[in-house]
Amino acid sequence: MAFTEKEKELIDRLQDAVVNYKVDEARKAAQDAVDAGVNAYTMTMEGLAGGMAVVSEKFDSHEYFVPETLLCAKALYAALDILKPRIKVKEGEVKGQVVLGVLQGDVHDLGNKERLISSSCATGPALEGAQIEYGMRAAPGALEKIKIDPGTYEVHYKVIGDDHWSDGKRNMQAKGICGSGIIDGIAEMFLAGIIKKNGRINPEIQCPRLRKSAKGMAEFVIAWGHETSIGEDIVITQKDIRAIQLAKGALYAGCLIMMRELGIKSFDRLVIAGAFGNHINKFSAMAIGMFPDCEPDKVQAVGNAAGDGARIALLNVNKRREAYDIARRVEYVELGLEEDFNDRFSEAMQFPHMFDEFPHLAGMLPVEYKEAM
């Protein structure tokens, strides 16, 4: 999303005020935003929510503790009291919001101001790096970003704790692959034609990195042994790809069924919650079909939303009541009872989907996918 210089300045001021718990500055920045006539919703989501995402990271890394976090929330509410009355929603406008939380249960929420629905689909821990051959949590040494050259199939990656991209020579001290890394890796393999639409590794590819393991399973080398701290090649296996297909297929099918329940064909905003969401590449996620096609600007990561919500409820009694009221309104949709869930799930297991089109990925998808449409 493109912002004017004034908007960028105000967003930076709001984020700084929240992160550094400057209550007075938060009020002043919010009032300046109102006086300048900029979009209050944009200031709230980019400035305030963006600031709290940074606070969440600081809390998770033990740089901030509960006292600092509560002070940050106080600054947020000081600004929100000024911005909230200026946030306009057209009467009767459907505001579809899908929240993908890569937490236990993998909850979706979808709704507008008149109706809220929720569901849960068992994606398993694959999206967090578990059930993956070389999967690990997001910690130093984990591959977090991966790029594959579609012509040479050469791999370049970044690991947590090192700002440099790999060059094939330097020891990157790689230990494994975290959730954002496995999504990047599989998306890049698909876009390079290494993985076919049905998820199978393409046996026609001639490349030193593509091989079979001692057990006869196809695998693709992401990092050679001399680049790792474990002295082994780090690979993505056919089994890893299947685990991600099951997880992303469940997420996609859940999104479709909930959108149908509300009678909408698209959503206005898609929010990825969880610490995982701060690092995920939205294009990679869309390329493998984690969620329906949409404008990339509509996708937003908000970090540890559950933790932020808990801290807000502790700080503000009115917000605690509001959360209680919202929880009472939410209708739960049991996906397993939907007659066509298995069909939608099977269709969504293909990359990015068996039938659905992805116009926002135009020019990125491999020829095989385009010919199948």
**What does the pLDDT average to over 322-334?**
84
313: exposed, middle or buried (Cβ count in 10 Å: 0-12, 13-18, 19+): middle
Higher pLDDT, 233 or 45: 233
pLDDT (tens digit per residue) in 361-370 = 887 777 555 4
Between 1 and 196, the higher pLDDT residue: 196
Residue 282: Cβ within 10 Å count: 19
DSSP annotation string for 156-195: EEEETT--SPP-SSS---B-EE-HHHHHHHHHHHHHTTSB
Q: Which residue has the higher pLDDT, 124 or 16?
A: 16
**In the predicted model, is pLDDT for residue 127 greater than 90?**
no
CATH 1.10.1240.10 domain residues, the chain: 5-86
* Least trusted range by pLDDT, from 95-109, 110-124, 211-225: 95-109
Q: For residue range 284-321, what is the model confidence (pLDDT) as tens digits?
A: 999 999 989 988 888 888 777 888 888 888 888 888 88
- What rounded mean pLDDT belongs to the chain? 85
Q: What is the pLDDT of residue 124?
A: 61
Compute the average pLDDT of residues 104-118: 64
Residue 200 has pLDDT above 90, yes or no: yes
CATH number for 5-86 (one of 3.40.50.2300, 3.40.50.300, 1.10.1240.10, 2.40.40.20): it is 1.10.1240.10
- Percent of residues, the chain, with pLDDT higher than 90: 44
Tell me, what's the pLDDT at 335?
A: 82
Question: Residue 104 and residue 1: Cα distance in Å, rounded?
Answer: 31
Can you tell me the distance from the alpha carbon of 58 to that of 36, in angstroms, rounded to the nearest whole number? 31
What pTM did the predictor assign?
Answer: 0.72
The answer to whether residue 101 scores a pLDDT higher than 70 is no
Mean pLDDT of 181-210: 95
The segment with the largest mean pLDDT, out of 13-22, 75-84, 129-138, is 13-22
- Look at residue 371 in the predicted model and tell me its pLDDT: 47
Q: Which residue has the higher pLDDT, 196 or 274?
A: 196
The pLDDT of residue 41: 81
> How many CB atoms sit inside 10 A of residue 240's CB?
23
Tens digits of per-residue pLDDT, 131-155?
799 999 889 999 999 999 999 999 9
Is the alpha carbon torsion for 366, 368, 369, 373 positive or negative? positive
**Does residue 55 register a pLDDT over 60?**
yes
Q: Is the pLDDT of residue 95 over 80?
A: no
pLDDT value at 97 more than 80: no
